[in-house]
Amino acid sequence: MSARAGCDGRTTPRDRAKRAVSLRRLILLLALVSALYVPTTVAQETQEAGTVTVTGNVVNDANGQPVAGVVVVLEALGLTVVTDDQGQFVLDSVPHGVYNLGLVHRDYQPLDGDLTIDRPGEFFLGLTPIGEPSDGMITGIVGIVTDQVNGQPVPDVVVNVAGIGRVATTDEDGRFTLSELIPGRHDVVFSHLGYRPRTESIEVETEHVVKLHIALAVDAIALDPIEVTVDRQDRNLRRVGFYQREEDGWGDFLDREDIEFWNPVQLTAALMRFPGVTTVPNPDMPSRGFLAFRRMGTECIPTVYLEGIRIGGGRDPAGIDDIVNPSAVAGVEVYRNTAGIPPQYWGTGSSCGVVLIWLRRGGQ
């Protein structure tokens, strides 16, 4: 892909947008094989035999503007860099090869694919904006519906917010979500073939989630009262299953309210409040340590994921304090052994445990 320059010799935002959109289409075409081909354009000087230096440019694929503050992970080489104000990052003296490249930014969809590095050059990557409301907090109702007699979850229950046309259906675990509701009191009707319908009046508060436990009965018997709690829930955390896993009871969980209460300068300081969590010295920066778990008098390095992208672990620990500011974090999941680790994060390096870091969205 050749570079186009404006009349002043610089690449214009419009050119960047076209280039990013073209690349996005290419990514979609190659999604089945998870391959991201990135052509090179501008020659740069090779520093040593068999290695090259490449410059990446990350832009918003909707408008072509550069995106600063993108975390770029080249895990195979233990490299983690952040794009500058011009959306650029440099991979210096990289051996020829094909590498998995991950990009993470709180306001954009994560990008993960294979990057071929075989010559010096410059390339562009487009990130897709998330487009969620900037507050990031849910206003609505979530809950579970069970059978009053046996306590088992009831799937396929129709949950109807009367008068406003909002409807949800419980999943196989009896759970439902009604987000983006108008604050105020709502009559919510629960109905399922074979059960008596049930109607409850629920007060919904701005930027808060009402959590319900509803029991349905087949016969005209006295129904158990509903269980109601009011909580704050982040959209991104609900989307990735954070709250469900927290209810399941595996692991330790840190959410935005915990972070605001403790107000840590570094994220590791907050995580060290959990049993068995510590740090080991970073030889390159003694003032900052790597997150570690204590095991039988010794320490091991857990695998760390940022927005679902692996950023380090084991022999290549992730310096999370250099990558993530606590103010940007929505929640953290800590699994100090293999029990309870979500299946999608099983694999090489997970034997010590796993840490999942999720970011806040928009202007939070």
Per the domain annotation, does 70 fall within a domain?
A: yes
Number of domains in the chain: 3
Residues of the chain scoring pLDDT < 70:
1-49, 131-137, 220-231, 285-287, 348, 362-364
pLDDT at position 136 is 61
Residue pLDDT, tens place only, 31-87 = 322 333 344 333 344 445 688 888 999 998 888 889 998 999 887 887 888 899 999
pLDDT at position 32 is 26
* Separation of alpha carbons 297 and 181, rounded Å: 51
Per the domain annotation, does 40 fall within a domain?
A: yes
Residue 74 is part of a domain; what is its CATH number? Answer: 2.60.40.1120
DSSP string for 260-274 = HHH--SSHHHHHTTS
pLDDT at position 271 is 92
Residue 267 is part of a domain; what is its CATH number? Answer: 2.170.130.10
Q: Are residues 241 and 355 in the same domain?
A: yes
Domain boundary among 187, 207, 231: 231
The amino acid that residue 89 corresponds to is F
Q: Are residues 270 and 344 in the same domain?
A: yes
206 class by beta-carbon count within 10 Å (0-12 exposed, 13-18 middle, 19+ buried)? exposed
Q: Which residues contact 267 (CB under 8 A, 6 or more apart)?
A: 320, 321, 324, 325, 326, 329, 332, 357
Give the range of the structural domain holding residue 148, as residue numbers without chain letter: 140-231
* Separation of alpha carbons 273 and 189, rounded Å: 42
Q: Are residues 314 and 344 in the same domain?
A: yes
Q: Are residues 147 and 187 in the same domain?
A: yes
pLDDT at position 174 is 93
